[in-house]
Every structure is written in structure tokens, then in C-alpha cells.
Structure 1
Amino acid sequence: MPTVSVIIPTRNDAPKLKTCLALLSQQSRPADEIIVVDNASSDDTSAICATAGVRRIPVDLPGIPATAAAGFDAAAGEIIARLDTDSRPPQDWLEHVERILQASGPLTAVTGPADFYGGNLLVRWTGRYLFLGGYFTVVGFLMGHPPVFGSNFALRRGVWAAIRTIVVRDNADVHDDFDISYRLRPDMTVIYDPTLRVGVSARPFASWSSFRRRVAMSLVTFRVEFAHEPPLRRRLDRFRWGYWQRHQNGPHRDESPVEDR
């Protein structure tokens, strides 16, 4: 069986972190290691990690991109799973993740949606349909494959090893899950499984200011990623790779379809 690491980036979110760690302790397939990456918290995060017996890594560079990347770098597992502090994984979450990735190739990631909790019906509807629905539909179209959702995804160690030097770490306004998704190579696969669900707080949509903040971050993220690689060229690369894969038994099977950049 592959070893599994769980990464949780956090900043001043001790109560929700405590709940998330309690749910991870009840998994039908226990994690081999849990790493909480602490972005300069001033609350009880350190004490909660000590009580739960999980590894805590302090990170001073602000923002989730740097925080999450530090956790992925430190992970020892062959499968690296990612949650947020407000994620509420069901008891079979890691078992589900492991089963999917064991049956898949070495350069595979898996992700799923969320069931939003907290707030009123309108807030939860906004999170489910406007935010997540738009993310998987619009971003998936731009990328040519499903994006990973930061509160609920896992990837094979080889995926991170291949992209860790090109992900954004120094811009706190970039959505790290979008960035990871966009840096995936054409030979990498993202599996979207609608049954791989976790609970996620609807608090980002509880006020217009927090919602505007997410929209502003999305615009920054689009600008950063499109400067790295225009979406049309990215989709073309993936199309060429897929075409080559389907015809690799032909006369040009030893030629790579994507030029080195």
C-alpha cells in the first residue's frame, strides 16, 4: 500500500483546524503523516497540533501558495492529499483517495466537490453553483482538464516532483489550487470524482467584501497564469499530446508532440 501524507495550510484558524484534525483521526484508512503548515499564526494552532500529535511546519512568507508548497515539499508520502482547515472529510475520505490513485497512473491527481456548511441558503448556493460550479466549468474549459480544488484533492508524489520548481510561491494573491492545476504537464491527468466530497465552510461567501476578495484574487491568478502560458497554447499542447498518445503505435511513435520550453 502506498504511504499517504495529508497537508493542511493554516493561519489563525485554530477552532476549525481542531475539528479537521479530529475528523482525520477517525479515518478508516489513517494517514501515515499529517503536516500542518502554519503561516505565522498567533492563536492556539501550535498547541492544537501538539495535542493532536501532528507535525507542524512554520512558514513566514505570507500567502497560501508558499504555505501549501512548503507542506508538499516536506511530505514523505507516495500520495499527498490536501485539505484546508475548514475542510470536513468524511470517514472514508483517505480510503477513497487511495483507491482512486492506486488504480491510476503515476502522474495522476484526483479531486472532488464540496458540501458547503454554515451561512444561509443563499450563501451556500453561491458557494456551490457560482464559485465551485464556475471553477470546474470555466477553469476546466480553459485548462482542457478538470482543475484541482484546494479543499479536496490529492496527487501522486511524482506530480509534485515535476512541478514544484515552477509553481508560484511568492504571490499571496494567487489561488494555489488554480496554479497547481495550470502547471500540470500534458502527460498528467486529473480525475474529477463527484463522489469524493468534503464539507467546506461557506464563510468566503458570507459577505460582499470576502467575495470581492476572492474575485480579485481570481483576476490576479488569471493574469499570472496566462502570462506563464496562454490558454490557447496550453489546450493545443494537450490536444497534441492526446493525439500522439492515440497514434503512438504509428510510424512516428518516438517523436514527442510537445516541444521543450
Structure 2
Amino acid sequence: MRISVVIPARNEEKFIVGCLQALKRQTLPPDEIIVVDNGSTDQTAALVMDTGVKLVRCPTPGVAVARQAGLEAATGDWVATTDADSRPVAGWLEALRPHMESCIALYGPLRMFGLPAWQEGLTELGYGVFLKMMMLLGRPNLAAANMAFHRQTALELGGYPVVEAAEDVILGSRLKAQGRVCYVRDALVLTSARRVKGGWTKFFLQQLKNLSGNPSGYFEPR
């Protein structure tokens, strides 16, 4: 079973090399790594090309559009996604792989880096509690920083909706309607603390929107 890893990137020269290095350290190497350059004006594209990783150009702004471009360019049976400012641990894909035979989509824990050690630990703990709550509500929260899914099924569903900051959660919900979705505890991804640069209150409000089942005010068409 072939696995493609897709990363959208816009002006990510600070983080993209660290992300790609983490992917190249995987104990189960991906069959394909795709970076979607979403109209960067810095050195992002040049840094990616220097690594020999496949670069897809997507000048239309928006992370949802960029993720869709990566999905359509991927050739693997499965697509695993992360973000340019994230660093999957070395055993990430190896932890996900055994579940690909019985599930249609997978997701795992996140821990922020770039914070004091005790805060980093709390972010993983807090996010784990949030994920457990979502599971109990029957709405697993599949975040694109740590998510994998069967590529053909996602394409048949139309892929990512053009809804910023909610496209991953909505695709995850659509995939759940098609088959089994599993949480993989050992598939840890480290992600940068810039997610809380606007303050913890703003960050938690976004999580509450996800918890409500209507992230970013989006409603599925009937």
C-alpha cells in the first residue's frame, strides 16, 4: 500500500525544512512527499526544490484549495497530511500503517513545540481530552496536521470543501459517513506554538466551534 504525504505551504521558509527533515526520518518512509506551494513570496519553493521533494504550484490563495491540489496530485493509495510548521515523530507513518487495512481515515495526537516544557505537555494532554470528547459525541475531530485517509474515497466525496479553517474537519466528517475512522494514539505530530500567538482564548474558541459541530459557521448543503 503506497502512502503519499501532502503539505500545503505559503511563506513557510522558517518551518518547511524542519517538516521535510522529520518526514525523511520516518521509520516507514513515505512513497511520495508533495509540498503544495500556495503562492509563496519567500524562499519556500526554492527550499523545497533543494530537497528533491515534489513541488506542486497552486497560486489560488487558500489552504483548502492547496490541500485539494495536493490530494489531486497524489498517487498513493492513502494520503497522510500534515502542516508545514509541524514535525511528525519518526514512527508516525509506521503507527498509522497497520490501521489502513480496516479503516477509511485515521488521526492522532498533537503536541505544540516552542513553549516551556510543562506547557508543551499540557497542550498534548488538553488536545487529547478534546479529541476524547469529540469521539464520545460521535464527531471525531480530524485535524489536517495529523490526518490520513483513503485517497480514492476522498476523491469520490469531492475532496476538501472550500471552507478555510474547517476543510479538514468537514472532510473527516464525510469520510466517517463512509466507513470506520480510527484514532491512533502513537501517531504523534509536533506542531508549532504559533497556533496560540493570538492568545489561548482565541485558540480555545476555535476548538469550541469544532465541538459545536459547526466549525466556522459552515453548514452542509441539503
CA distance in 1, matches of 2:195, 2:122: 10
Q: Which residue of 2 aligns with 1:61?
A: 60
1:179 aligned to 170, 179, 199, which one?
170
Question: 1: CA distance between counterparts of 2:33 and 2:127?
Answer: 28
Q: Would you say 1:112 and 2:102 are equivalent positions?
A: no
Aligned length: 218
Change (3 A) 1:117 1:178: same
> Partners in 1 of 2:169 and 2:155 — Cα distance?
17
Does the 8 Å CA contact 1:127/1:205 hold for their aligned counterparts?
no
Which ranges of structure 2 fall in alignment gaps of 5 or more residues?
A: none
1:27-63 CA distances to partner (integer Å, 9 max, x unpaired)? 2222211110111111111111111101111222322
Equivalents in 1 of 2:120, 2:91: separation in Å? 24
CA–CA separation in structure 2 for the residues paired with 1:31 and 1:86? 18
How far 1:120 sits from its partner (Å)? Answer: 3.2
- Are 2:120 and 1:124 equivalent residues in the alignment? yes
Q: In 2 relative to 1, CA 146–74 (structure 1 residues): closer, same or farther, beyond 3 Å?
A: same
Shift, 1:122, TM fit: 7.1
Contact 1:9 1:85 survives alignment (8 Å): yes
Counterpart residue number, 2:81: 82
Matches within 5 A, 1:24-39: 24-39=23-38
**Amino acid corresponding to residue 4 of structure 1 in structure 2:** I
Contact 1:123–1:205 under 8 Å retained in 2 = no
Name the counterpart of 2:220.
228
Matched, 1:168 2:164: no
Residue in 2 that maps onto 1:192: 183
Partner SS state of residue 87, structure 2: coil
CA contact (8 A) 1:82 1:152 kept: yes
Specify the SS of the correspondent of 1:15: coil
Alpha-carbon distance, 1:74 to partner:
1.1
1:147 to 2:167 alignment: no
Aligned partners of 2:48 and 2:215: how far apart in 1? Answer: 31
Summarize the Cα distance change of 1:221–1:56 in structure 2 as closer, same or farther, 3 Å threshold. same
Moved more, 112-121 or 6-15: 112-121
Cα contact 1:24–1:89 (8 A) shared by 2: yes
Could you tell me how far apart the structure 2 residues matched to 1:65 and 1:139 are?
22
Q: Aligned in 2, Cα 1:189/1:147: closer, same or farther, shift over 3 Å?
A: farther
CA, structure 1 residues 93+128, in 2 after alignment: closer, same or farther (shift >3 Å)? closer
Give the Cα–Cα distance (whole angstroms) in 1 for the partners of residues 220 and 31 of structure 2: 35
In the TM superposition, residue 216 of structure 1 has moved relative to its aligned partner by 5.6
Q: Distance in 2 between matches of 1:132 and 1:92?
A: 19
Distance (Å, rounded) in 1 between the aligned partners of 2:114 and 2:147: 22
CA distance in 2 between partners of 1:111 and 1:192 (Å):
5
CA distance in 2, matches of 1:141, 1:20: 32
Q: CA deviation at 1:141?
A: 4.5
Change in Cα spacing, 1:131 to 1:95, as seen in structure 2 (3 Å) is closer
Q: Distance in 2 between matches of 1:84 and 1:194?
A: 19
Q: What's the % identity of the aligned pairs?
A: 28
CA 123–62 in structure 1, closer or farther in 2 if over 3 Å, else same: farther
Over aligned residue pairs, what C-alpha RMSD do you find? 2.6
Q: Name the CA shift for 1:43/1:213 in 2 (closer, same or farther; >3 Å).
A: farther
Larger Rg: 1
Shift of 1:140: 3.5
Aligned residue type for 2:102: S
